[in-house]
Amino acid sequence: MREAQAGIQVAKEPDHHRTRPRIAVDQDAVLLLVSHGLPVQCRIVDLSLEGCRVSNIARFPTGPGVHVEVTFKVNGIAFRFGGSVQCGLGIHFVGVNQPRREELAEVLDEVEGDAAVRAAKEAAEKLAAELKAAAALACAEQSANVAESSDDKSEGS
């Protein structure tokens, strides 16, 4: 597994206002308020082809419609997109050229695929642990039954 994937978890959040699924991520980012040239460290908490949501911003003077630029890495690939602030800390990407959009789509597909593999592996490990525990319990019960049966035979003699 690549180190860049360590902070990524996939969680598609249902949102009827969105045209694309949001993928939960946890990546360092820099948000730049274009009109002031003010860069602020933050975190990308979800990402889609249309935009992202950031967190950990203290005193960032902005509101809906303000133009920003967000820079971040996912799976080791750096992205820098212009956008406009939506409600809360959501950013809608604007002016993204087709090759970069396709590259982001590919990275998001990789993130989803990697998360699906991790989820399947975790489910298999959990099932194996449950089966092992059930087998141990069955073994212990069988041993107790054999011991009880031996005690009954001893008393009957």
What is the full per-residue pLDDT of the chain (157 aa) written as tens digits? 333 334 434 344 444 455 667 888 889 999 998 888 888 899 999 999 999 999 877 666 667 778 999 999 999 999 999 999 887 788 999 999 999 999 999 999 988 887 778 888 888 899 989 989 888 888 888 887 777 776 666 665 5
Predicted model pTM: 0.64
Question: What's the CATH code, domain 3-120?
Answer: 2.40.10.220
What tokens does 5 get?
């994937």
Structural tokens at position 144: 């107790």
Unique residue bearing structure tokens 């593999």: 117
How many alpha carbons fall within 13 Å on the CB side of residue 53? 12
